[in-house]
Structure 1
Amino acid sequence: MKHYVLVHGGCHGAWCWYKVKPILEHSGHRVTVLDLTASGVNVSRVEDIQTLEDYAKPLLEVLESFGSDDKVILVAHSLGGIPAALAADMFPSKISVAVFVTSFMPDTTNPPSYVFEKLIGSITEEERMDLELGSYGTSEHPLMTAFLGPNYLKNMYLLSPIEDYELAKMLMRVAPAITSNLTGTKSLTEQGYGSISRVYIVCGEDKGISVDFQRWMIENSPVKEVMEINDADHMPMFSKPHELCDRLLKIADKYA
């Protein structure tokens, strides 16, 4: 029996894994899902998040609670890739493989915020649609929030069932935008994050993080293996849950 820990993306929560969790459990594995700080049903507010560690706290606590011999398959989606990378940097011995599902994936030379800031800096006003970027923090330490408006969200759920898109609209919460003010300017370490096996799952019809940008991140920080789900949008847990689980089970067989 393998143990999966599933990390959701920005503005989402543990709820987004509701199709994936039972499929993996039915295959005989243990699955832990969690809400990052100020996400899902977590009671914190986004203003409570002053550092990347604050945002990742529920994930760090879960990993900390496991015994020294417990190794997990850490699966991160979208913005969840950055807190997951921090967790891998802090607990490398507890992770057998980290899986980035159409996800932001840091390297070990730039700050963890580098990949997020690069994408946000590259999108046009037109592409930004109703992605709302707000601010909090202080003038000395300005921080940024992100919220996915219904049009931007629709783009991410292009091939997903309409019910899942409606569910997401009801459950969206404001998330922290992962800027260098949140993460600090130190990069993740080679002996921590850099030492673990990583696999990237590319989603071929993604309009949230383009395939070109996914490929650029893989080139920027090479992984052990790249898998693809050709006809998945940005939310493969909704548009292609069985195909996603098929890839995750193969990864467990090979790396865990």
Structure 2
Amino acid sequence: MADFLLVHGSCHGAWCWRDLIPALEALGHSARAIDLPSHGSDPTPISDVTLDGCRDVVLSTSTPQTIVVGHSWGGYPISAAAEANPKAMRALIYLCAYVPQDGLSMVEMRRRAPRQLIVDAVEKSTDGLSYTVRPDKVHDLLYHDCASEILPFAFARLCPQAIAPQETPLPLSDNFARVPKAYIRATDDHTIPTEYEEEMSHVAPEELRATIDSSHSPFFSHPRYLAEILDDLEQKLPAV
């Protein structure tokens, strides 16, 4: 069975994989989640967060047998890790995530989307180093199809997101290209337009593209079904 490394998106932490980890373990896999710098229990000051630092956390916790799953912004650190050392992981799986294009930052990728869904939902900090999701927008943006207990659980743990790593361009080479990839698109995503996810999903071959009828947070709304999708993709990915 597979070893999954779960990498969260903006403002989240390892806590967001609470329900997916046991669902993957029930299918016989091992699953681990990490906190990126300044998230969850990681003490890094926001002013010190870089894309390279996020990349290095992924690399330090991945093995050549690991399938690295990146959610949303997490698509960038996992891609940077693959670019730096393509032998450090078995494959990448993008979960409603940004797939970088050579030399573009995540912010630039977001601006290329056909619709801008988060502009009115986030607030920049007074020092300009981070942003947070507006409290009145959290439910509709991230968790509109989740059980009622999810909102207070997540709301108590959401944190500021450093802007600098998301504005950092990511050059890509054959290193990134040769790492196997899969993509899971959410069909009811209120954060990244689902048609943009469909476009980005073409980084993976057709047999390694999947959809889930979910919000931007399928790890909360459909954890068991998401685990089944990951299990199916794992079986289709090249063996170690």
User: TM-score, normalised on structure 1?
Assistant: 0.83
1:146 matched residue in structure 2: 131
The 8 Å contact of residues 204 and 211 in structure 1, kept in 2 or not, is answered as yes
The 8 Å contact of residues 47 and 129 in structure 2, kept in 1 or not, is answered as no
1:123 matched residue in structure 2: 116
Segments of structure 2 that go 5 or more residues without pairing to the other structure are none
The 8 Å contact of residues 7 and 74 in structure 2, kept in 1 or not, is answered as yes
2:216 matched residue in structure 1: 234
2:171 matched residue in structure 1: 187
Two-structure CA RMSD over aligned residues (Å): 2.1
Partner SS state of residue 192, structure 1: helix
1:110 matched residue in structure 2: 103
Read off the aligned partner of 1:131 and give its amino acid letter. Answer: V
1:77 matched residue in structure 2: 71
Mapping 1:213-252, distance limit 5 Å:
213-219=196-202, 222-224=203-205, 225-230=208-213, 232-252=214-234
Q: How far does the alpha carbon of each residue in 1:119-176 deviate from its partner, in whole angstroms, 9 at most, with x for none?
A: 5x9527xx5333113375xxxxxx7422112233212101011211111110011112
Q: Percent identity?
A: 24
The 8 Å contact of residues 203 and 233 in structure 1, kept in 2 or not, is answered as yes
Change (3 A) 1:135 1:223: farther
Read off the aligned partner of 1:213 and give its amino acid letter. Answer: Y
How many residues in Structure 1 have an aligned counterpart in Structure 2?
234
1:173 matched residue in structure 2: 159
Aligned equivalents of 2:7, 2:81: Cα separation in 1: 11
Read off the aligned partner of 2:15 and give its amino acid letter. Answer: W
Aligned equivalents of 2:55, 2:235: Cα separation in 1: 27
Aligned equivalents of 2:123, 2:152: Cα separation in 1: 19
The 8 Å contact of residues 112 and 187 in structure 1, kept in 2 or not, is answered as no
User: TM-score, normalised on structure 2?
Assistant: 0.89
The 8 Å contact of residues 76 and 99 in structure 2, kept in 1 or not, is answered as yes
In terms of mean alpha carbon deviation, does 143-152 or 87-96 score higher?
A: 143-152
The 8 Å contact of residues 51 and 165 in structure 2, kept in 1 or not, is answered as no
Q: How far does the alpha carbon of each residue in 1:187-242 deviate from its partner, in whole angstroms, 9 at most, with x for none?
A: 222x21111111110111111111122123235xx312210112x11100001111
Aligned equivalents of 2:168, 2:126: Cα separation in 1: 16
User: 1:79 Cα deviation (Å)?
Assistant: 0.9
1:140 matched residue in structure 2: none
User: 1:60 Cα deviation (Å)?
Assistant: 2.4
The 8 Å contact of residues 37 and 56 in structure 1, kept in 2 or not, is answered as no
The 8 Å contact of residues 59 and 88 in structure 2, kept in 1 or not, is answered as no
Aligned equivalents of 1:112, 1:86: Cα separation in 2: 11
